[in-house]
Amino acid sequence: STTSKGKGKDSDLRSPICCILGHVDTGKTKLLDKIRQTNVQGGEAGGITQQIGATYFPIEAIEQKTATMSKYEKQTLDVPGLLVIDTPGHESFSNLRSRGSSLCNIAILVIDIMHGLEQQTIESIRLLRDRKAPFIVALNKIDRLYDWKEIPNNNFRDSFEQQSRAVQDEFETRLNNIQIELAEQGLNSELYFKNKNMAKYVSIVPTSAVTGEGVPDLLWLLLELTQKRMSKQLMYLSHVEATVLEVKVVEGFGTTIDVILSNGYLREGDRIVLCGLNGPIVTTIRALLTPQPLRELRLKSEYVHHKEVKAALGVKIAANDLEKAVSGSRLLVVGPDDDEEEMCDDVMEDITGLLDSVDTT
Ligand code: GDP
């Protein structure tokens, strides 16, 4: 019972992986929350995300949530779902954040429409550009435009049409200013439905994490861009691509690692290699654990055990000797023909970069 089930399509594409970046308080957590319709943020101290998690959105959920888009756009869904990594906007995680974006197929950069570009927005843009990661902008908190009349969970265009002239004007002014700020960072941008050149112009999706307006547009665009432009990257690979997000002690399991499996399979009993503080770690997967569907790893709900999991998903691995595991590290699986020592050297190459980025923040 893995989370990827798809719709039995012939195409064997994996779920695209998306991550959320942006300045603190722009609404990253709330936006995820709105998409999920659960209330993670309410249960968090100060509403600041302190942990890394991943949320899987099965295609049925996406179809339902993008239904209001059908009037404007047609879409065939070929992927089994969407995996969203919840990257927190906390300074101490910039190491993880930088690594995080390399395992993303597409990123959402959240900008508060009332605040425009902020310090961490600019840092995020730099990060995305360094890693050549494709991204879209969620221009969030449109409900805060003075006198905004909400139509919950609606697509943006229909909601926008319902607004008074004054609201529309304020929106245009703010949008314009933010486009200028983006241009100052060397980015051409355009409202996503006016964007004729997605390769050259960053698409902007206006959203409200409170009313849910623009969320259908956001999901639609994520699927559109990943399916149309990255289908090669979404092909299943026989080899494993995986990244350690977090190292955590869990009662009953000892030290575990939270891993994003971007491609391939992981199986109980697999011999794995990853980067450790005092040298490479080679160990054997004792348990593969996932939380209940549509929950985050950090909710500590009951775990489901798996013999095998298939990308893309967030999975917790229990194994011996994980105490010194380094978050951000790649995780490799030793195959019958692989040279274990070579793999150890490979993963340890990461550590220089990982520790460097810790030092500079
Ligand atoms: P994060 O730090 O980026 O994860 O931001 P949060 O999701 O914690 O949101 C920060 C604050 O902004 C919270 O008080 C949210 O309720 C509020 N917020 C987030 N999105 C919206 C939005 O679309 N509209 C309004 N009015 N408030 C929002």
pLDDT in tens, 315-344: 899 999 999 998 888 899 999 999 999 999
Between 250 and 297, name the one with better pLDDT: 250
Give yes or no for residue 113 having a pLDDT over 70: yes
Task: Ligand 1, residue 44: give the atom nearest the CA.
Answer: 8
Interface predicted TM-score (ipTM): 0.99
Give residue 355's pLDDT: 57
Task: Ligand 1, residue 26: give the atom nearest the CA.
Answer: 3
Query: Ligand 1 centre and the CA of 30: distance in Å?
Result: 5
Give residue 301's pLDDT: 53
Pocket test for ligand 1, best of 30, 120, 215 (most atoms within 8 A of CB): 30
Give yes or no for residue 287 having a pLDDT over 80: yes
Query: Ligand 1 centre and the CA of 12: distance in Å?
Result: 37
Give yes or no for residue 34 having a pLDDT over 60: yes
Give residue 292's pLDDT: 57
- Encode pLDDT of 127-180 as tens digits: 888 777 889 999 999 999 999 999 999 999 999 999 999 999 999 999 999 999
Query: Ligand 1 centre and the CA of 78: distance in Å?
Result: 32
Between 227 and 203, name the one with better pLDDT: 203
Give yes or no for residue 207 having a pLDDT over 80: yes
CA distance 96 to 104: 12
Residues whose beta carbon lies within 6 Å of some atom of ligand 1 = 22, 24-30, 41, 47-49, 89, 140-141, 143-144, 208-210
Pocket test for ligand 1, best of 25, 119, 123 (most atoms within 8 A of CB): 25
Give yes or no for residue 203 having a pLDDT over 90: yes
Give residue 11's pLDDT: 59
Between 140 and 293, name the one with better pLDDT: 140
Query: Ligand 1 centre and the CA of 244: distance in Å?
Result: 28
Task: Ligand 1, residue 47: give the atom nearest the CA.
Answer: 8
